[in-house]
Amino acid sequence: MRVAIIGSGYVGLVTGTCLAEIGHNVICVDNNTAKVEMLKKGKIPIYEPGLDVLIKKNVEAGRLGFSPDIKDSVRAAEVVFIAVGTPPKEDGSADLSYVENVAKQIAESLDSYKVVVEKSTVPVETGDKVRKTIKLYNKNNIPFDVVSNPEFLKEGSAIEDFMRPDRIVIGVETKKAEKVMRELYKPIPTQMIVTDIKSAEIIKHASNSFLATKISFINAVANVCEKTGADIKKVAEGMGSDSRIGPKFLSAGIGYGGSCFPKDVDAFVKISESVGYDFKLLKEVQAINKAQRTHFIKKIHESLWVPKDKKIAVWGLSFKPNTDDMREAPSIDVIKHLQKEGAKITAYCPGAMEKAREIFSSLDYANDKYEALKDADALVILTEWDEFKNADLGHLKSLMRNPLILDARNLYEPEEMRKAGFEYRCIGRGSKG
């Protein structure tokens, strides 16, 4: 099939590339012309494992292309995906101006029947608004269908998630659109859940809000563990081995970040409010998440006493491992706080240092994890990249001025760290951590 993807960010680029990989002819469109030029030259604007190889393969096979031109791309396509950002506004609700803008441009480009697919994460009832907008600007009354097809990929394993998803959700209004979507995803071996558009929209917000709830829940339990001497790792293991609960999203830490959970929980709270439901549970999830960052910063203060002029090494800047995404990363709050207190920070991150340069006006970066530690008064670990898990502890200790580690991701065993001569503080490991 011929597919146009409007918005070539994390989701658009992965969606377009994977659809090309399963045999479709795809054009990825973006109004950021620099990004399009980069892609045309074979450079990939984001860090996503395996994406570069797949893009190259599909461009060479003639199934994948890039363009700044929405009109021609829409006209050439049977299916048009909207994959632009839906960032949070100041009040927490989703900013849908990019979606509206694209819907309008699609309408003005229509010359034959198209299926217009909402891929961006949007509040319930956006499908209605997209349909109305397209009708309004569709001067020649060309037929079209709107479909909701929320995306569940995770940055860092996006290709695998797209190719082998737990399910594909489509919200449709007509049999014709359902048939097109079934045909499009036919090569992907998974169950397809077909709903109305509003239910599909809510599935996405409810899923992310549920996962965020799981994270805040385990962080709340971690606080009780800290105060009682229990060990959150053991508690999570005991809970997670119950198949009704499951082990995923039960890692206590500094709380969730990234471009999705914070904004999607905020948006879901706002939508619920707008239809007259006060989603108090999710408000508490937000509050626990915020408090978790403050709690960790407090720990740094307790251990370091006065941060001013102390040399602090930071490992991990991205909001999670295997991505360069810095949106809502806990590292931003922690580093900005410590800089305000006068600490001297040297950071190292395997994936996000380039993106971090756009955020921090002054921050020293190291070339590798050990270089960051030279004469450090403390090491603060903020993202659980694999390369931090296998660090040479002896070497690490020899480089630091003071062997103090504040670990927001529970990478190490407290007993082993103590034996190795470190003062080691982590999350929810009671008297041990």
Contact pick of 25, 86, 148, 286 for ligand NAD (by CB under 6 A): 86
Q: How far is the CB of 408 from ligand NAD (least distance, A)?
A: 21
Question: From CA 18, how far away is CA 63, in angstroms rounded?
Answer: 11
Binds ligand NAD by CB under 6 A, chosen from 21, 48, 74, 85: 85
Structure tokens at 417: 């760290």
CB of 39 to ligand NAD, least distance (A): 10
DSSP SS3 for 145: strand
Query: Which residues, in sequence order, are CB contacts of 270 under 8 Å at separation 6+?
Result: 91, 92, 93, 94, 123
Using rule CB under 6 A, residue 410 touches ligand NAD? no
Beta bridge partners of 191: 167
Closest contact distance (angstroms) between CB of 152 and ligand NAD is 6
**156: contact with ligand NAD by CB under 6 A:** no
Report the residue number, 5 or 366, with the smaller CB distance to ligand NAD: 5
Instruction: For ligand NAD, give the closer residue by CB, 145 or 266.
Output: 266
Residue with tokens 């229509």: 110
Which residue of 67, 73, 93, 259 would you call a contact of ligand NAD, by CB under 6 A?
259
Radius of gyration of the chain (CA): 23
**DSSP state string for 56-84:** HHHHHTTSEEEES-HHHHHHH-SEEEE--
Listed ranges 23-31, 244-252, 300-308, 406-414: which one lies at the site for ligand NAD (CB under 6 A): 23-31
355 Cβ contact partners less than 8 Å away, ≥ 6 residues apart: 317, 318, 324, 325, 326
* Chosen residue from 3, 4, 5, 10 binding ligand NAD by CB under 6 A: 10
Residue 12 makes contact with ligand NAD by CB under 6 A:
yes
Q: Which is nearer to ligand NAD, 84 or 314 (CB)?
A: 84
**Beta-carbon neighbour count of residue 53 at 10 Å?**
12
Integer angstrom CA distances of residue 243 from 166, 167, 200, 268: 17, 19, 26, 27
Among 225, 260, 349, 426, which one carries the catalytic annotation?
Answer: 260
Q: Strand ranges (DSSP E) for 200-335? A: 311-315
Q: How far apart are CA 205 and CA 265, in angstroms?
A: 7
Concerning whether 18 is annotated as a catalytic residue, the answer is no
The CB-of-271 to ligand NAD minimum distance in angstroms stands at 14
Q: Three-class SS of residue 238?
A: helix
Residue 168's DSSP bridge partners are 192
Q: Does 83 bind ligand NAD (CB under 6 A)?
A: yes
7 binds ligand NAD (CB under 6 A): yes
Q: Which residues within the stretch 92-151 sit at the binding site for ligand NAD (CB under 6 A)?
A: 98, 101-102, 120-121, 151
Q: What residue number has its CB nearest to ligand NAD?
A: 9
- When asked if residue 351 is in the footprint of ligand NAD (CB under 6 A), the reply is no
Q: Which one of 36, 64, 153, 408 is in contact with ligand NAD (CB under 6 A)?
A: 153
The answer to the question of residue 66 lying near ligand NAD (CB under 6 A) is no
C-alpha–C-alpha distance, residues 400 and 397, integer Å: 5
Binding site for ligand NAD (CB under 6 A): 6-12, 29-32, 35, 70, 83-86, 98, 101-102, 120-121, 151, 153, 155, 259-260
* Active site members: 260
